Amino acid sequence: MPNIKSAEKRVRISAKRTLHNTSLKSALRTTIKKFETALAQSEIEQARLALRIATRALDKAATKGIIHRNTASRKKSRLTKRFNAVANQG
């Protein structure tokens, strides 16, 4: 435990931000999971909407620094690729 007042504050801030970032990351995973379930059930329109929401969430997470922008880009690319494969198939 820190002895200096400013260090104690940094510990409190760090814990608070960690909690916030964890909840944002969890929400991001949930939006991606919603897309995956819609895609698995072959609900194309539902999946299209979920893809848009997931893409937006990934962009926001990258902007806020929750995930790296290259990670967001890679995930968006893979999700879109999977959607296109299912949408063009049937």
Instruction: Specify the amino acid at residue 90.
Output: G
DSSP 78: H
Q: Could you tell me if 43 and 86 are in contact, meaning their C-beta atoms sit under 8 angstroms apart?
A: no
Interhelix angle 44-64/69-89, rounded to 10 degrees, is 170
Residue 89 pLDDT exceeds 90: no
**How would residue 90 be classed by pLDDT, with cut points 50, 70 and 90?**
low
Q: Which CATH superfamily is domain 5-89 in?
A: Ribosomal protein S20 (1.20.58.110)
Domain ranges of the chain: 5-89
Residue at 9: amino acid letter: K
On whether the pTM is more than 0.85, the answer is: yes
Indicate if the pLDDT at residue 53 is higher than 90.
Answer: yes
